[in-house]
Amino acid sequence: MPSDPAPTPPPAEPARAADEARHEPTDEELWSESWYLDFVDVDRGLGGYVRLGLYPNLGTAWYWACVVGPDRPLVTVIDHEVPLPPARSHEVRTEGLWADYTVETPLDHVSVGVEAFAVGVDDPALVYGELRGERVPLGFDLEWETDGGTYAYPGVTRYEVPCRVHGEVLVGAERFEVDGHGQRDHSWGVRDWWSYGWSWTA
């Protein structure tokens, strides 16, 4: 018996400049808004990412930052108890962490600043338990500049932007001038991450 063809998803549309700002939450407990940005500089053997997640109906924010590279320990910040930033701001502060995200030009240019005490671990699997390791100063002063078309996912409030990334990364006593590639992602709505079994590559 023939089955009906799968429905065709609506076509993707470019992201809108207005969507770069923070959004008004609904009252669902797991409504969240997040900004994820990554980078890689192949010549310097360095990559990393940051993620700010706001959970207004849970009264908290999550902040992650990470640096990786061949023959380097993983250096990461993972904090799930960050006070929410003020309205219309992306700046977060807590003990051992300051970070900000600034839209310099909508859909074209954003910047990220981080000053934190991170944890260095030799085995990346350790980040899934109680995080223990060497205390490492970590700093980002990075710019993401759009390098291609924006992509707004059809049927969901989320978009991605391919980017060139440049600026400075500090890891302990090391200083890196970054000039590479990356992407950034902005998502908002109800996101029940605990209900999924999934893997993601980018």
CA angle in degrees (0–180, nearest 5) for 90-20-138: 40
- Using DSSP's 3-state secondary structure scheme, residue 125 falls into helix
**The predicted structure's pLDDT at residue 165:** 99
- Beta bridge mates, 182: 39, 163
60-103, pLDDT tens digit by residue? 999 999 999 999 999 999 999 999 999 999 999 999 999 999 99
Closest by CA position to 122, among listed 114, 113, 131: 131
**The predicted structure's pLDDT at residue 122:** 86
Query: CA distances (Å), 168 to each of 73, 174, 180, in order?
Result: 19, 10, 11
Which tokens is 53 given? 């997640």
Closest by CA position to 100, among listed 129, 70, 61: 61
**The predicted structure's pLDDT at residue 202:** 53
* 24, amino acid identity: E
- Using DSSP's 3-state secondary structure scheme, residue 99 falls into strand
Residues 25 and 188: their CA atoms lie apart, in Å, by 8
Where are any strands of DSSP class E within 83-192?
92-94, 97-105, 109-121, 134-146, 151-152, 158-171, 174-190
Question: For all residues of the chain together, what is the average pLDDT?
Answer: 91
Residues 199 and 189: their CA atoms lie apart, in Å, by 20
- For CA atoms 165, 100, 26, 109, the dihedral sign is negative
Which tokens is 159 given? 């978009």
Name all domains of the chain by residue range, CATH numbers in brackets.
25-189 (2.40.370.10)
Query: Per the confidence metrics, is the pTM higher than 0.85?
Result: yes
Whether 200 has a pLDDT exceeding 70, the answer reads: no
